[in-house]
Copies of this chain bind each other. A is one copy, B any other.
Amino acid sequence: MTKTTADSADPGPNPGRRGFLAAAGGLVAAAGAGFAMPPAVAAAAPTAAAPPPEATPGSEVAGKPFHGEHQAGIVSPAQGQTYFAVFDLVTPRRSDVEALFRTWTDASARMARGDTAKPLADDLSVAAGDGGEAIGLPPARLTITFGFGAGLFTRDGQDRYGLAAQRPAALVDMPRFNGDQLEPAATGGDLSVQACADDPQVAFHAIRQLVRLAEGVAQLRWTQTGFNAAFAATETGRNLMGFKDGTQNPQTPPHRLSTDPKPTADRDAVVWVGDEGPDWMRGGSYVAVRLIRIALEHWDRTEVDFQEQVVGRHKHSGAPLGGKDEFDPLDLDAVDQDGNPVIPENAHVRLGAAAVNDGAQILRRAFSFNNGIKFTAERWPPWRQGLEYDAGLLFVAYQRDLRTGFIKIFEPMAKLDAMNQFTTHVGGGFFACPRGIKPGEFLGQDLFKSS
């Protein structure tokens, strides 16, 4: 009945990492056993447990349900922090992959409710089943979202695990877009795992424990931390370029402090895979991830009205050019007295609009990143070389089909968007995120059963 004994089966009313400590911390100390709790003490703990954090809807500390029809962390409001991790599979054995997915499922469900990744053993003479760095912390809305890259199915033309026939047609290789400067060390990968939480230590803890559990089977290929600022629930958040970001995002609340949105048919049609299959992807989604460095020094030196022409919106209000309110519809046909478009032909907001992309939409769930500074050759006069911000956008977008979603929208943007003067895509990948996991199931279970 407690998270510290390896032999307890029923978690009971879950007090989470924090509740456990409140209930049992003194007893542990009194027992003098350091990290472990004697079974007799453990059995007594739940009666004194604090209420489960999950019982507080909307609480900053509450856990998000891990199990469900869809994976968590896709349509739920973005948290304040993320750690995005991409793994390469290093095992030749299908059974290793399946075992990893079972282990990851159990650990993720535990961590999502604020628990350790594995139960902690009484025996201190072994490495702990959890490093302990999140003990005492609430779940902080932790979500863990899994994706499968092309490499799970085939690599170098080989069917690695007997899964090649199950590769979805929609999981295409990432095209080379105009302007791409992708670094191989930050691109591609076989598995994606995104941990999002309101506490960076909770997100890092989740990835770190999953890395430990993957030893010998999968190893990290690239990672990126990210954050979203805590804008008020009534506002669309501003990004590192100082503009409101997400006004047009389909039916998602603008930022992390909002409450969960009601699902709508429109959003669901954008995000979730339907009958087109394969079966194991029904209720899943495809994620496009792009690491986009932004030349913030350059941007900060440009005039406000120029920035507004680049974006196609007013900086302060967020209204489209020619409009007054942030949520005014984009009038892409409006022209000024000289017959020029009010929203320029190459404005970011025009090129991203569904109206110019045959109705194509994606669900953006992006984070900003700040990796400090890095030696960089500037792309603008006087072409200095020096230490520049290694910061920008960890772009994460979900859609039912990458070909009619991100690729459809971004292919022309990569050529025409005025914002490209300031952005450089340096990494990323495409991943198929299977449907949600129900209690008793494991990640990708349908995939292994159907092939």
CB atoms of A241 and B133 under 8 A apart? yes
The distance from the CB of A152 to the nearest CB of chain B, in whole angstroms, is: 20
Q: Which of A149-188 contact B (CB under 8 A)?
A: none
B372-A136 in contact (CB<8A)? no
Partner of A223, one of B125, B137, B201, B372: B372
Distance to closest chain B CB from A266 (angstroms): 26
User: Does residue A9 face the partner (Cβ distance < 8 Å to B)?
Assistant: no
A208 touches B136 (CB 8 A): no
Interface residues of A (CB under 8 A from B): 18, 21, 25, 28-30, 32-36, 80, 83, 124-128, 131-138, 140, 198-202, 204, 208, 212, 219-225, 227-232, 235, 237-243, 296, 299-305, 308, 314-317, 319, 324-326, 368, 370-373, 386-387, 389, 391
Shortest Cβ gap from A367 to chain B (Å): 10
Q: Which of B124, B135, B317 contacts A308 (CB under 8 A)?
A: B124
User: What B residues does A325 contact at CB under 8 A?
Assistant: 29
Q: Are A370 and B199 in contact (CB under 8 A)?
A: no
Residues of B within 8 A of A137 (CB): 229-231, 238
Q: Which of B126, B132, B201, B314 contacts A227 (CB 8 A)?
A: B201
Contact B229 A132 (CB under 8 A): no
> B225–A132 contact, CB under 8 A?
no
Q: Are A391 and B204 in contact (CB under 8 A)?
A: yes
21 inter-chain pairs at a CB distance below 8 angstroms, sorted by A residue, are: A18-B232, A32-B324, A34-B317, A34-B319, A35-B317, A36-B316, A80-B199, A124-B303, A124-B304, A126-B303, A128-B304, A131-B299, A134-B229, A135-B242, A137-B229, A199-B230, A201-B227, A201-B368, A202-B229, A219-B387, A221-B387
